[in-house]
Amino acid sequence: MRILLIEDDTEAAAYMAKGLREAGHTVDVAANGTDGLFLATTERYDAMIVDRMLPGLDGLAIVQAVRGSGNTTPVLILSALGKVDDRVRGLKAGGDDYLVKPYAFAELLARLEALGRRVSAATPETRLRVEDLEMDLLARTVTRSGRPIDLQPREFRLLEYLMRHAGQVVTRTMLLENVWEYHFDPQTNLIDVHISRLRQKVDKDFEQALIHTVRGAGYTLRAAR
């Protein structure tokens, strides 16, 4: 997921951002309410984590403004205010979940991913994103850092499968069954050829490679570690 984190505590923000990135998510960080609201209303995110007490503009005001603009991105509110009335105010302002500080990072991650699953189940996915690589499933277009990438239909389907399983190891058998609909091994270098072509288009002109070979296992699409 692409996540917006609005948190003025520099140390806490760095810790959360590091953990979320290690879990495979992309994170933008805003250190105050004004910058946070600007990003929330001008960029597209899959989820937002908003601290309640912020300089410039408090978290509840941000959530209310976001909802007022028609934005339905899931919001997890963080706060040291943990009374029932505080939580109710956060949810009534438009928050989807409310987590009281101090909290365990594992719980924050679980709650965030639960929000993501809830939205995925309710709304058909029309865009995929991994780092700076984006795929529009409706327009059937792919861009990286805003630059269009021209793919053949099979290459598009192969990349879509890799992006849907970003961070996971995808085996040759999985690709044969789900991209080519083969339920047998054709004993050819079919996959190697298509992966090579895809790398030429997706990775060649960019500093960071996203498509990686996992020796003896298959392939994975992820940012370099």
β-strand pairing of 147-149 with 2-6? unpaired
Domains and their CATH numbers in the chain: 2-122 (3.40.50.2300), 127-221 (1.10.10.10)
Rounded-to-integer distance, Cα 105 and Cα 102, Å: 9
- Please check whether residue 135 is in contact with residue 142, taking contact to mean a CB–CB distance below 8 angstroms: yes
Encode pLDDT of 155-209 as tens digits: 999 999 999 888 888 998 999 988 998 877 888 899 999 999 999 999 998 989 9
Encode pLDDT of 134-161 as tens digits: 999 889 999 999 999 999 999 999 999 9
Measured CA distances, 130 to 5, 19, 21, 191 (Å): 18, 17, 12, 21
Rounded-to-integer distance, Cα 142 and Cα 134, Å: 6
